[in-house]
Amino acid sequence: MSDVPHFGGDFLWGVSTASYQIEGAVDADGRGPSIWDQFSHTPGRTLGGDTGDAACEHYRRYGDDVALMADLGVDAYRFSIAWPRIQPDGSGVESRGLDFYDRLVDTLLEHGIEPSATLFHWDSPLALEAAGGWENRAITDAFANYAHVVGERLADRVTRWFTLNETVIFTLLGHGIGVHAPGKELGFDAMQVAWHQLLAHGKAVQALRAAGATLVGPANNHTQVRPIDDSPETLDAAALFDLVYNRAFLDPILTGTWPLAGIVDPVVEDADLAIISEPVDFLGINSYNPQYIAAAPPGSAVPFDMVTPEGLEYNDFGWPILPDGFTQMLVDLRERYGDALPPILITENGGAFNEEPDAGGRVRDQRRIDYTAAHLAALHEAMDAGVDVRGYFHWSFMDNFEWAEGYSQRFGLTYVDYDTQERIPKDSFHWYRQLIAAQKGRR
Going by C-alpha positions, the residue among 287, 392, 281 that lies closest to residue 342 is 281
Q: The domain 12-439: what is its CATH number? A: 3.20.20.80
Cα–Cα distance for residue pair 322/338, rounded to 1 Å: 25
Q: Whole-prediction pTM value?
A: 0.98
Chunked mean pLDDT (size 10), the chain, 443 residues: 84 98 98 98 98 98 98 98 98 98 98 98 98 98 98 98 98 98 97 98 98 98 98 98 98 98 97 98 98 95 94 97 98 98 98 98 98 98 98 98 98 98 98 97 64
Catalytic residues: 166, 348
Burial of 261 (0-12, 13-18, 19+ CB in 10 A): exposed
In whole angstroms, how far apart are CA 10 and each of 62, 203, 262, 395, 420? 27, 31, 44, 21, 38
What's residue 442's pLDDT? 62
